[in-house]
Amino acid sequence: MKKTVRDLQVDGKRVLVRVDFNVPLKDGVITNDNRICESLPTIKYLVEHNAKVILISHLGRPKGERKPEFTLAPCAKHLSKLLSKDIKFADDCIGAVAEDAVATLQPGEILVLENLRFHKEEEKNDPEFAKALASLADFVVNDAFGVSHRAHASVEGISHFLPIAAGFLLEKEIEYIGGAVTNPQKPFAAIIGGAKVSDKIEVISNLLPKVDMLIIGGGMANTFIRAKGYDTGSSLVEEDKVELAASLIEKAKEVGTRLLLPVDFVVAQEFKNEALQKNVMADAIEDGWMALDIGPKSRELFASALADMKMIVWNGPMGVFEMDNFAAGTNAVAQAVAEADAISIVGGGDSTAAIEKSGLASEISHISTGGGASLEYLEGKLLPGIAALADKYES
């Protein structure tokens, strides 16, 4: 068991919280505040318990340089609106500027420090930088699952100077995604989509012996279809992964996992939304045509198979989801996952976008905030940010 924010005596103490405020901005305006909203339970808890709250985060990829377009000032301003509370902002995350801002902070107040990645030492996990961050606080809380697969100074390095506890968001990610990997409810299904098999090999290999059913969709399904000996026309296929796909099909048989591939596709002659399209069976893709979505029979097959599951993990779209004319398969899977009487966990940008766009987010048990982190967790890897958390019963 790992320590959480509940295990800390924070009254009057300085609490440094690693949040994930890496939000999309356009002309200095936040266009999606999901990540900020996900941090609110931890922030509110600390304020209610009279802590001096110091928030640290990265934003974008400034590569160790101070770039105005990556300032966290808009996030501090937006947080102020969300909490109806004045939020202080410091123009650096270490040094005299940060130290002076922390020194004047009163219990119940919130301070946002400037972008961690304005210092190249953050991503290099520099011990002196981590030590400087730790010197600002009495306690550290990690509530940034989205970077917990990175051994950065604010995620892992800081644990060498102060013990780290999990915030409520990180605790939830550990409970749901960690639980799916180590102690899943049965029957358990995984839906893996996206463009390339190579991006998801480790996830598929790790989950195959654990799940009762594995559904493959998206561009990667074409490589599996080719592995079955079918023609794939002009579809995206990873030629160097066809043999691997064939071995995974065989492995599924060996371990007794039901592997479902699309039985039909929506195909088009061009990779664009307005392209001429038609439905064909999986073994009937002609030259000059490319599969861009799963077909209606596949949607029915997948939905029917998911109905009896008790746990479902979904990562990756079923087709070229960003084009409306090829989003039906992804939307159908979103509907099926939402309707299933199961613990449902959704990760990955396109899968999350599909759930949110369809208005089904409230029907999902857990929507992960970390794309890369959730993938690595599902691969069975121990994430640096989780490994760095203090054990609950440490002396």
Q: Which residues are catalytic?
A: 35, 196, 349, 372
Using alpha carbons, select from 393, 212, 230, 199 the residue that is nearest to residue 315.
199
- Return the half-sphere exposure (C-beta side, CA atoms, 13 A cut-off) of residue 30: 21
- Rounded to the nearest 10 degrees, the angle between the axes of helix 371-378 and helix 197-207 is 40
Cα–Cα distances in angstroms (integers) from residue 273 to residues 72, 127, 265, 328, in the given order: 36, 50, 15, 13
Q: What dihedral angle (degrees, nearest 10) is formed by the CA atoms of 177, 183, 186, 190?
A: 30
Cα 222 to Cα 101: distance, rounded to the nearest angstrom = 55
Cα 265 to Cα 293: distance, rounded to the nearest angstrom = 6
Using alpha carbons, select from 386, 334, 390 the residue that is nearest to residue 362.
334
Cα 253 to Cα 248: distance, rounded to the nearest angstrom = 9
Task: Show the DSSP H helices in 209-313 as ranges.
Answer: 220-227, 242-255, 296-306
Spatial neighbors of 376 by CB under 8 A, at least 6 apart, are 149, 383
Contact by Cβ (8 Å): 217, 316: yes
